[in-house]
Amino acid sequence: MVTSAHEGMHRIFQERPEILTPVFGLLGVPLSAKATVDAVTTDVTEARPLERRVDTVLCVGPSDGEDFLLAIESQSGKDEGKASSWAYYVAYLQAKYRLPVLLLVVCQDRSTAKWATGPFDCGTRGWTAQRTFPLVAGPDNLPKITDIRTATKNPALAVLSALAHARSADCEAILRAITTALQEIRETDPETADYFFDFLEISLGNTPAGQKLREIMSFVSYFPGRGTVRETAYLEGRAEGKTEGKAEGKAEGRAEGEAKGILSVLEVRGIPVPDSVRERITTCTDLDRMDAWLERSRTVERAEDLFAEDTDLPGTSPEQA
C-alpha cells in the first residue's frame, strides 16, 4: 500500500534528481555532477495476472561513462518478499532496456537498512543462480546535517538527513537547520524551497519528528500563504468567526474572527487555554490589541502570556492590561 510518506520518499528523486550526486558519493559509487536524469516508467509488469511496480526508475546518463538505470525503493521495514521482487526488477529492467541496473533502497531505521543490504540469493542445492546487492541509504551513511550553511548548500541531502535520523536525539537540530535553510532559499528560489518543505511535512507526517517540525514552524511563519498547519488554523478560525459575526456588524464580525484565529493557533500548538483567558479573548473588541495577541500566539509558552505586553499598546493603561 502506498502512503503519502512513501510517495514523498521517492518523488524527491524524480522531481529533484540533483540529490543523486551527493547520495552516490556517500555510497561510494562515483557519479558526475553533470549527469542527465530522466524518469522511466515504473511498470515492470510482464503478464497481466502479475503486476509489479518499482517506486521510481531513472535513466542516468553520466558525462563520464555509460548510461544506466537506477531503480529506487523506499523500505520502512523488513519484507522477505522483497528478495524475489528486487531480483525480478533488476533482471527485467536490464532485459527490457539493455542497460546496466542499480537498485537503491532508502531506509529510515538501522535494522531495516542492515537487512536491505543483502545480498539476496536465488538458487538451490548449493548453487546460486542470481544474487542481488542493493545500495542502501539510511541512518548509518546519511550524515546528520545540523549546520545551516550545509543545509542551504544541499537542501535535498539535508531533507533526507532529517528523514533518516527522525528518531535520533539530533532530530530537532537537523529540523531547525533545514527549516532555516529553506527560509533563506525561498528568497531566491521559492519553488525549490516550497517543494522541499512539502516533501518534509508529508514524509514526517504525524510522527514525533513531524510534531516537532510543526512546533518549530509555529514560531516563525517561514512560508506565508503555503497552507501550513498554523496558518490554516488561523484562516479557518477567522473564516468561521466572520461568518458567525455578520449579523452583529462588520467590526464585531472581524473581532470574533480574530478571536477564533487566536484560539485555533493556540490549539494547534497544544497550549492549554484556561476559561479566563478564553473569555478575555472572545469578549475583546479592540482589534489592535487582538492583532498583537495573534502575533504573540505563535511564540508564547502559556496562554496567559498573550497579555504580558498589553501595556505597550497605544492607549492601553496598566489597569486595562
Beta bridge partners of 53: 43
Comparing 113-117, 161-165, 246-250, which segment has the lowest mean pLDDT? Answer: 246-250
State pTM to two decimals.
0.58
pLDDT of residue 317: 38
* Strands 101-107, 68-75: pairing kind: parallel
Per-residue pLDDT tens digits for 35-70: 676 667 655 555 443 445 666 788 888 777 788 999
Comparing 13-27, 96-110, 203-217, 295-309, which segment has the lowest mean pLDDT? Answer: 13-27
Q: Give the mean model confidence (pLDDT) for residues 96-113.
A: 90
Name residues whose C-beta falls within 8 Å of residue 226's C-beta, 6 or more positions apart in sequence.
194, 197
Q: How many residues does the chain have?
A: 321
Per-residue pLDDT tens digits for 150-205: 999 888 889 889 988 988 899 999 999 998 998 888 888 887 887 788 778 877 87
* Strands 135-137, 101-107: pairing kind: parallel
Average pLDDT, the chain: 77
pLDDT of residue 215: 81
Distance between CA atoms of residues 29 and 70, nearest Å: 12
Comparing 101-115, 208-222, 236-250, 252-266, which segment has the lowest mean pLDDT? Answer: 236-250
Using alpha carbons, select from 124, 170, 123 the residue that is nearest to residue 147: 170
Instruction: Check whether 277 has a pLDDT greater than 50.
Output: yes
**Scanning the structure block, which residue is given the C-alpha cell 461568518?**
243
DSSP state of 223: S
Task: Write the secondary structure of 47-60 as one string of H (helix), E (strand) and C (coil).
Answer: ECCECCECCEEEEE
Considering only residues 54 and 242, tell me which one the structure prediction assigns the higher pLDDT: 54
Considering only residues 280 and 57, tell me which one the structure prediction assigns the higher pLDDT: 280
Instruction: Check whether 133 has a pLDDT greater than 90.
Output: yes
Task: State the pLDDT confidence band at 234, using cuts at 50, 70 and 90.
Answer: very low
Considering only residues 3 and 124, tell me which one the structure prediction assigns the higher pLDDT: 124
pLDDT of residue 247: 46
Pair 32, 63: CB distance under 8 Å: yes
Considering only residues 10 and 204, tell me which one the structure prediction assigns the higher pLDDT: 204
Using alpha carbons, select from 184, 129, 114, 132 the residue that is nearest to residue 155: 184
Copy the grid coordinates of residue 115. Answer: 537487512
Every domain of the chain and the residues it spans: 4-137, 148-225, 230-312
Considering only residues 23 and 171, tell me which one the structure prediction assigns the higher pLDDT: 171
Beta bridge partners of 107: 75
CA angle 216, 221, 224 (to 5 degrees): 140
Residue 278's identity, in one-letter code, is R
Considering only residues 105 and 244, tell me which one the structure prediction assigns the higher pLDDT: 105
Considering only residues 21 and 180, tell me which one the structure prediction assigns the higher pLDDT: 180
pLDDT of residue 223: 46
